[in-house]
Structure 1
Amino acid sequence: MQVVTGKSVLNGIAVGKIKVYKAPKFEISEKTVDDAQVEMELGRFEAARLAAIDQQNELHDRAVESAGEESAEIFSVHAMLLDDEDLVDAVNEIISEEKHTAEYAVKTAFDNQAKVFAEMEDAYFRARSADIIDIENAVLGVLLGMDLGSKQGGEPAILVADDLAPSETVRLDKSLLLGMITKEGSLNSHTAILARSMNLPALVQCQEISDDWDGHEVIIDGYNACAYIDPNDDLRKNLLARKIEDDKQRALLQELKGRTNTTIDGTKINVYANIGGPSDIEAVKLNDAGGVGLFRSEFVYLNSSTAPTEEQQFAAYKEAVEALAPKLVIIRTCDIGADKQVDYMNLDREENPALGYRAIRICLTRRDFFKTQLRALLRAAAYGNLAIMFPMIISAAELNECRKILDICRNDLISEGKKVGDVQVGIMVETPAAVFCADELAENCDFFSIGTNDLTQYICAIDRQNAKLEPFADTHHPAVLRAIRMTVEAGHRHGIWVGICGELGADLSLTESFLRMGIDELSVNPTSVLPLRKKIRSIDLSKPQEQ
């Protein structure tokens, strides 16, 4: 028996045979072509590029179905990268000037671009290197006539790979997938996101994987972040018993549908869901969430090659609020920037994008852009229960300006004879500045929603996208918990409700602490709704908290 370790994506047990997944290898010739063939090679590249764009759009649609809108956004980014003028020009120049084949030109130009990204200091841009390689493989696959479909085999198995690109992950037959182990990747990689969305145990950063494992039995122990290759009988028996118990607990969770989120002593709390777009609405219903605490409107922008119009946005928001009415749907205004970029906005690359030109800072300096979204939101509010949430607010002056623009949009729509609805207005509390100014901010909004991901990053001065800093990251840091408590107290002093929409909302080890702080709402991934409900119903706030 061999024991290997990694980082666990999901608590749970997976048992099965190993299928070693190997990425395709491309044989690229360095031969040159004569002048008469140059035009033909240019044409081949252009045809392959367009075909690859079509592939990315198809993968986007498949990803929406399997993992939701947020996970699918990467394929919209891929399609836009394939339209990048600098990248296209670099390929054409190698073909025209150096007279190489389309395959050689694509590999050379794309590899060069990937290298540039890989050497950048910022974690977000380093991650773009893998995206360039992924779309390079898509174009080469078309040029060489290779089928890049899944190579996972025809039997249920646990997949082992050096890494899985987003396109490879989406092509997997989910009905045959028992679990995953990868050598590379992070807890926020596409592989990890898919595993969590499907409730599949998985390990990433498992450095000891081997091609020799193919066909051998493995047990993934997500609780202890390890895997056992060819486990002995006693271990197999114990872990299978744990898996059976896990399956029973998941079945019991289904019995909580329709129950209230009420503690033993009678304290009620709202449990909402975080979603990436209208395609996630079914998951909200399936998991019996009380509403949507965070609707990430970025999908509208990331899934478009040009700035989305008011009508396009209105249709998307209307679909969500109408489908979930009368449940509350809180829509965060555009949070583009930092780790989410779109070419048509022409945002400069920044040394420190997490502290840069992003979210509300873009909206307040591009008023027409902001008004387009606000008008769409106000119109959609007439069809359901909609709230608007502004991200990255750091001062009362910013909030006041947002509200003034919102009022202008409302008045304009009414004067145009358009139907508008009433909305609650809230802000994301995700910076130390917002925490320290919470009393002033609470005077002019209806609710706070604490974004614990960014709040932790800014309080602890730790880049949440930098895998090297994971050993230093402490999501339970006393300063973070103190900031949450301060925010709740300030909100309640001014009679507004306070929720959490970051990752900590689903951390069951903190649920009781949050309830004792007075948190009114927790918004989590849809699959975390029922486990959170179970936890809430087991808490008795009338008794002292166990240490």
Structure 2
Amino acid sequence: MKRVPESSSSRLCGIPLSPGIIVGTAYHVEPFTPSFYRLRISRVEVDQELRRFEEAVAQSRRQLTSIKQRLEAQIGRERSYIADVQLLILEDKRFRTEIEERIVRQLCSPERAIREAAEEWLSSFRSLQDPFFQERGSELKDVEERLLANLTEVNGKNGHLPEALILVAPEVTLSVLADYQLERIKGLVVTKAGAASHVTIIARSYQIPMVSGIENLTDQVHTGDTILVDGCEGVVYRNPSRRETRRYQSCVEKKQQTAATEDADTGPFTTIDGRAIHLYLNTETESEVDSGLRQGAEGVGLFRSEFMFVKNTATNLRASD
């Protein structure tokens, strides 16, 4: 095997989102850019185009249901609500009505109607101050792209992929994770992602190292590059030297050796001068409560009920169909 020259190694600094260290092969995820040439339709085409839109919705529903089932198997039923968020957007009556009205009244093609309606909603999400709701804009964008892909019959399947697959992209969505299969993804390096994004939540749950916030990422890292992702410090090495690789492998081994000792320490916890430290959980699922209590937490300090709301709302909608 040809040795990579030391000078070709580069260090990129970003934001750590999911801990862990991995060396693998970079694979670029290209942004979805649907090509459609029809912006307007004739009056006689309205019924036909409405049927095309409904078929795209039905296909998207089947795909998201399949993704939800895969997530249940891979990261647990409690966290599969992540797919429910997109199902809720897809089934939202107001969103669907706005698209249909553009087709019927303005004689827009379904592709144009979806793009315009989604852009209006995205503008509303961007104007919100709450980071949680801003992150939901990426879910809407993913639904938009799924609908357009199904309308334009884009094949999202991938060919041969490296075993130690590290996805490199401006932004990674739930659909991308599903297309590339979670069990094959060993690392994520993105330009844009937040701590509250669903992709970050999945990465942490599935113990996939993840780094965000690297500008001009796709100009600096190319498909086929060997990269080292340090999700603890937020650092990515492109074509790391043997010395850098050995140093990180040594760090991983030391962390593994100390993990058992740290897990065994369940409290009580005190400061050096003997003052008691009370630990409480920031949680969203019952399984996290069990894990936290085993590690010394005394109770729940913050329960994020919005996730339970999304999950139960989606369940009730499906039951009413």
Q: So what's the TM-score if we normalise by structure 1?
A: 0.48
Deviations along 1:138-172, one digit per CA (max 9) or x if unpaired, are 21222222344567925222221111123323444
Q: 1:106/1:306 Cα in 2 relative to 1: closer, same or farther (>3 Å)?
A: closer
Q: For residue 17 of structure 1, report the CA deviation from its aligned partner.
A: 1.6
SS in 2 for 1:303: helix
Structure 1 CA distance for aligned equivalents of residues 134 and 87 of structure 2? 19
Which residue of the other structure, out of 152, 161, 168, is the alignment partner of 1:160?
168
Aligned equivalents of 2:122 and 2:263: distance in 1?
49
Aligned equivalents of 2:171, 2:116: Cα separation in 1: 22
| Larger mean Cα displacement after TM superposition, 134-143 or 188-197 | 188-197
2:246 to 234, 237, 240: 237
- The verdict on how the C-alpha distance between 1:145 and 1:307 changes in structure 2, with shifts beyond 3 A counting, is closer
Alignment of 1:217-236 (within 5 A): 217-236=226-245
1:111 corresponds to 2:115: no
Paired residues of 1:10 and 1:202 also in contact (CA < 8 A): yes
For 1:46, the equivalent position in structure 2 comes to 54
Query: Is 1:132 aligned with 2:140?
Result: yes
Counterpart CA distance in 1 for 2:299 and 2:212 is 29
Shift of 1:56: 2.9
Kindly indicate whether the alpha-carbon contact (under 8 Å) linking 1:284 and 1:291 is maintained by their aligned counterparts in 2. Answer: no
Q: Secondary structure at the match of 1:24?
A: coil
* Partners of 1:272 and 1:289 within 8 A in 2: no
Cα deviation for residue 260 of structure 1 reads 5.8
Q: In structure 1, what residue type is equivalent to 2:229?
A: I
Report the CA distance between 1:7 and its aligned residue: 0.6
Secondary structure of the structure 1 residue equivalent to 2:312:
coil
Give the distance between the partners of 2:40 and 2:54, measured in 1 at CA. 18
Counterpart Cα distance in 1 of 2:109 and 2:223: 36
- Spell out the pairing of 1:356-395 with structure 2 (5 A cutoff): none
Q: Given that residues 15 and 234 in structure 2 are in contact (C-alpha distance below 8 angstroms), is that contact kept between their aligned partners in structure 1? A: yes
Matches within 5 A, 1:450-469: none
1:25 counterpart residue number: 33
Following the alignment from structure 1 to structure 2, what is the Cα–Cα distance between the partners of residues 71 and 136? 23
SS, match of residue 218 in structure 1 = strand
- 1:303 aligns with 311
Matched residue type, 1:27: S
Contact 1:18/1:218 (CA < 8 Å) preserved in 2? yes
Amino acid at match of 2:230: D
Q: Is the 8 Å Cα contact of residues 12 and 246 (structure 1) preserved in structure 2?
A: no
Which stretch shows the higher mean deviation, 55-64 or 229-238?
A: 55-64
> Which residues in structure 2 correspond to 1:408-487 (within 5 Å)?
none
In structure 2, the residue matched to 1:249 is: 258
| Aligned-pair CA distance for 1:188 | 2.4
Q: Which runs of 5+ in 1 are unaligned?
A: 313-547
Structure 2 stretches lacking a partner, 5+ long: 1-8
Q: Is the 8 A contact 1:169 1:190 kept in 2?
A: no
CA contact (8 A) 1:273 1:291 kept: yes
- Residue identity opposite 2:36 in structure 1: I
Q: Which residue of 1 aligns with 2:4?
A: none
Offset, 1:120: 4.1
Question: Residues 260 and 248 from structure 1, CA distance in 2 versus in 1: closer, same or farther, beyond 3 angstroms?
Answer: closer
Partner residue of 2:187 out of 179, 201, 205? 179
Q: Deviations over 1:311-336 (max 9, x none)?
A: x9xxxxxxxxxxxxxxxxxxxxxxxx
Corresponding residue for 1:214? Answer: 223
Which structure 2 residues correspond to residues 248-397 of structure 1 after superposition, within 5 A? 248-250=257-259, 252=260, 256=264, 261=267, 276-277=284-285, 280=287, 284=290, 288=294, 293-294=299-300, 298-305=306-313
Q: Match for residue 3 of structure 2?
A: none
Tell me if the contact between 1:63 and 1:72 (Cα under 8 Å) persists in the aligned partners.
Answer: yes
SS at match of 1:22: coil
- 1:4 match: 12
1:216 deviates by 1.0
Identity of aligned residues (%): 21
SS of the counterpart of 1:50? Answer: helix
Residue 213 of structure 2: aligned partner: 205
Query: Alignment partner for residue 98 of structure 2, among 64, 69, 90?
Result: 90
Q: Tell me how far 1:227 sits from its aligned partner.
A: 1.2
Determine which structure has more spread, i.e. the larger CA radius of gyration.
1
Tell me: CA distance 1:271–1:120, structure 2 relative to 1, closer, same or farther (3 Å). Answer: closer
| Structure 1 match to 2:5 | none
Aligned letter for 1:196?
Answer: R
Q: CA deviation at 1:11?
A: 4.1
Question: 1:134 is aligned with what amino acid?
Answer: D
1:71 shift after superposition? 4.4
With normalisation by structure 2, the TM-score equals 0.78
Deviation string for 1:451-495 (max 9, x for gaps)?
Answer: xxxxxxxxxxxxxxxxxxxxxxxxxxxxxxxxxxxxxxxxxxxxx
Could you report, residue by residue, the CA deviation over 1:276-322 in whole angstroms, capped at 9, with x for unpaired residues? 446x37x94799568994465554431234896xxx9xxxxxxxxxx
Cα distance change of structure 1 residues 65 and 291 upon mapping to structure 2, 3 Å threshold: farther
Residue 217 of structure 2 aligns to a residue whose secondary structure is: coil
Name the amino acid aligned to 2:140.
I
Distance 1:106 1:156, change over 3 A: same
Q: 1:176 to 1:43 in 2, by over 3 A?
A: same
Q: Which has the higher contact order (CA 8 A, sep 6+)?
A: 2
> In structure 2, what is the Cα distance between the partners aligned to 1:150 and 1:197?
24
Task: Return the letter of the residue paired with 1:249.
Answer: T
Change beyond 3 A, Cα 1:86–1:164: same
Cα separation, partners in 2 of 1:175 and 1:109, compared to 1, 3 Å = same
